[in-house]
Amino acid sequence: MRNNYTASVIMNCCNEDFKYLTIAIESYLNQQKSKVQLIVSTIEGDPCISFIQEKYPSIELCIFPKSEHPGKSPQGSFLQINRALPMITGEWFCFASSNDIAQPNKIRLEIDSCIKTHKKICYSSFDRIDANGNTTNTQNFYRYDYARHLQGNFVSDCALMHKSIVDEFLPFKTEFNNYAYWDLWLRVYEKYGNVFCYNPAPTWKYRTLESSMHIKRRNNPTLMAQYENDKKRMLNTHTNG
């Protein structure tokens, strides 16, 4: 395997706690044997802009006009990613949240897994952590299976993909809201078959907060109804959906 890889990471930020943001940023800037282009996609007026410009001048900023942004929401998140996609220069790409944490070998391990298995996308196990960074459990998965994937998504948003996938299949379809990544993975399989490899070693930490969108959605019947409708609409566009 090569000693160094080039990967682009788009990290979304929307009024993030600077403590969490700093940990997230440094976890990607300090990746082992990998040259990382870190792009932070945020919204005009967000406090993180001046913070990043002063503390991390090497980070590239993508700033979404506030007047065109729907606010913190799944659709808003995917609009932020879409706007930053043209800035990608790396051979590989992955998304990152501004409060999650990458293990030091995330990029290297996932690219190695793709090269070793001749695949284009690598998804990994991950650790769930609380607000204080304590691990609550580890989320494990299994090798790719399309029929199983139609029943539920198990390829995380933080999965790594070759830039050829980005160029052909993105931008994301924001009309599917929280299901835009699941839709992407299904579209890739339906054209190219199994180009996915699974890495069982956890490569990142998913932080759950009371303010997390999935927590707020779970406690809101209206949002849950919309969530289920979005899933139905998305799956209806796919084979056997």
134: its two tokens? 């304590």
What's the rounded Cα separation, in Å, for the pair 130 and 114? 30
Q: Could you list the pLDDT tens digit for every one of the 241 residues in the chain? A: 455 679 999 999 999 999 999 999 999 999 999 999 999 999 999 999 999 999 999 999 999 999 999 988 899 999 999 999 999 999 999 999 999 999 999 999 999 999 999 999 999 999 999 999 999 999 999 999 999 999 999 999 999 999 999 999 999 999 999 999 999 999 999 999 999 999 999 999 999 876 555 555 566 677 778 989 999 999 999 976 4
pTM above 0.85, yes or no: yes
* Cβ neighbours of 163 (radius 10 Å): 17
45 φψ region: left (φ > 0), alpha (ψ -120 to 50), beta (else) = left
List all residues 6 or more positions away from 175 whose beta carbon is below 8 Å from its beta carbon. 233
Q: Give the per-residue pLDDT at 125.
A: 98
Q: Give the per-residue pLDDT at 228.
A: 93
Q: Give the per-residue pLDDT at 100.
A: 94
The one-letter code for the residue type at 126 is F
Residue written as token pair 């969108």 = 213
DSSP, collapsed to helix, strand or coil, labels residue 11 as strand
What's the rounded Cα separation, in Å, for the pair 239 and 203? 31
CB 20 within 8 A of CB 207: yes
- Nearest Cα residue to 226 out of 176, 157, 180: 176
Q: Give the per-residue pLDDT at 56.
A: 97
Q: Give the per-residue pLDDT at 214.
A: 53
List all residues 6 or more positions away from 139 whose beta carbon is below 8 Å from its beta carbon. 125, 126, 127, 128, 206
Q: What is the CATH number of domain 5-235?
A: 3.90.550.10
